[in-house]
C-alpha cells in the first residue's frame, strides 16, 4: 500500500483538508484571499481523539487510543503536518486513514490520505505532509459547483479480515482501501470537535 493514495467516494473528490481544538504554537501566518492578504494570527496545533466506531469494537479494544495532531503550517510551508499515534491497538494491523464529510455512516465525500500500522505491541505512529485546514470535495450538480468540507477523520481496517478478531469471519467488506477491499471503520472523530471549516 502506498502512503498517499486517494479514493473518491461517489463523486470526484478534490482534496485539501480540515482541523479541531486549537492550541497556539506561535508564528503569525498570512492567509491570502481574493481580496488580498489577511493576517490569521499564530499558527495552530489541532488535536483530535479518535474513538472506536461501534460499541462492539469498543468492547473488543477497551484500551485502544488513537490521537491525531495537525500542525497548521500550510500558509508558511505549503502543507500541514498530520501526525497519528495509536496505543493498545490490535497488533501488526494496518489501518487506512480518511478525511470525511461525516464521521460515521453514511460517510459522504471522503479522501484517502494514508495508512498507519501497529507493531507487535499494538503501538502505531505515522506522519503525513498534506493540506489539512481547507480540505474539501467538489463536484458539479446541474451545472453548479457544490463544495463539501472534509472536517472529520476516520480509520478503517485495511485488510477485510483485520476486524475478524472482534466481528467474526462474516464481517462486512468495505471499499475503504486502494484495492477496494477493507474491513469496517475502526475509529472516527465523532466524539470530538470536528476540524474547523475554512
Using an 8 Å Cβ cutoff, are 50 and 66 in contact?
Answer: yes
Domain count, the chain: 1
Tally the C-alpha atoms within 13 A of residue 165's C-alpha that lie toward its C-beta.
14
pLDDT tens digits along 173-191? 999 999 999 999 999 999 9
Closest to 161 (Cα-Cα) out of 175, 179, 173: 173
Using an 8 Å Cβ cutoff, are 185 and 158 in contact?
Answer: no
The answer as to whether 10 is a domain residue is no
The answer as to whether 8 is a domain residue is no
The answer as to whether 15 is a domain residue is no
The predicted structure's pLDDT at residue 180: 96
The answer as to whether 198 is a domain residue is no
The predicted structure's pLDDT at residue 39: 43
- The C-alpha atoms of residue 43 and residue 25 are separated, in whole angstroms, by 6
- pTM value is 0.76
DSSP label at 194? P
Using an 8 Å Cβ cutoff, are 51 and 191 in contact?
Answer: yes
Cell of 192: 470530538
Name every residue whose Cβ is closer than 8 Å to that of residue 10 and which is 6 or more positions away in sequence: 108, 109
The answer as to whether 39 is a domain residue is yes
Series of mean pLDDT values for 10-residue runs along the chain (198 residues): 38 33 34 38 80 98 97 89 97 97 94 97 97 84 89 96 97 96 97 80
- Residue 98: count other Cβ atoms within 10 Å of its Cβ: 23
The answer as to whether 73 is a domain residue is yes
Domain that includes residue 47, residue range: 21-188
The predicted structure's pLDDT at residue 131: 86
The answer as to whether 154 is a domain residue is yes
Using an 8 Å Cβ cutoff, are 90 and 122 in contact?
Answer: yes
Using an 8 Å Cβ cutoff, are 96 and 182 in contact?
Answer: yes
CATH code, domain carrying 54: 2.60.40
The answer as to whether 9 is a domain residue is no
Amino acid at each position: 500500500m502506498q502512503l498517499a493514495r486517494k479514493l473518491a467516494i461517489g463523486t470526484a473528490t478534490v482534496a485539501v483538508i480540515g482541523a479541531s481544538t486549537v492550541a497556539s504554537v506561535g508564528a503569525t501566518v498570512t492567509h491570502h484571499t481574493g481580496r488580498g492578504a489577511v493576517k490569521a494570527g499564530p499558527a495552530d496545533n489541532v488535536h483530535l481523539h479518535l474513538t472506536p466506531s461501534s460499541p462492539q469494537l469498543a468492547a473488543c479494544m477497551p484500551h485502544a487510543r488513537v490521537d491525531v495532531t495537525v500542525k497548521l503550517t500550510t500558509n508558511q510551508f505549503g502543507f500541514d503536518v498530520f501526525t497519528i499515534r495509536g496505543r493498545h491497538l490490535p497488533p501488526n494491523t494496518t489501518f487506512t486513514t480518511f478525511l470525511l464529510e461525516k464521521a460515521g455512516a453514511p460517510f459522504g465525500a471522503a479522501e484517502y490520505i494514508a495508512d498507519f500500522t501497529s507493531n507487535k505491541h499494538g503501538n502505531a505512529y505515522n506522519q503525513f505532509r498534506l493540506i489539512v485546514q481547507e480540505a474539501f470535495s467538489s463536484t458539479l450538480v446541474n451545472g453548479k459547483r457544490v463544495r463539501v468540507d472534509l472536517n472529520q477523520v476516520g480509520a478503517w481496517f485495511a485488510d477485510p479480515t483485520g476486524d475478524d478478531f472482534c466481528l467474526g469471519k462474516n464481517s462486512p467488506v468495505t471499499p475503504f482501501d486502494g484495492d477496494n477491499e477493507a474491513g469496517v471503520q475502526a475509529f472516527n472523530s465523532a466524539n470530538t470537535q470536528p476540524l474547523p471549516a475554512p
